[in-house]
Structure 1
């Protein structure tokens, strides 16, 4: 049995990185948007799905879903 590649967010553009940082620093607005921004930034910094799940107190499958969705749709 071959292990699957770890789930990672794609390389962020400068604009995406700045937008995500602003979202996390402000901490205002939707808690869901804040949590998603934290997930994407943590993945971009090299954190594993398990570590991110502990950080934001979420299920690993949820973290993978957020990362996959960002990779497909970006900031939309």
Structure 2
């Protein structure tokens, strides 16, 4: 099940707030890093929800949904 449109729009414009990948868009985080979080446990709250969704999008090859939003294609 895909998240709602507003969540995807927020996700498309959210950057990692800390760590090695600070200021990188969440969708642009390396796959191994997202997989590591999946094994370790995602943070609580909205950031964790977003990282969990990034994991699902990457696993299912759906990153293009977020990239299209970033480019302004929201249909």
Bigger relative CO (Cα 8 Å, ≥ 6 apart)? 1
Structure with the higher helix share, 1 or 2: 1
Structure-2-length-normalised TM-score: 0.34
Structure-1-length-normalised TM-score: 0.34
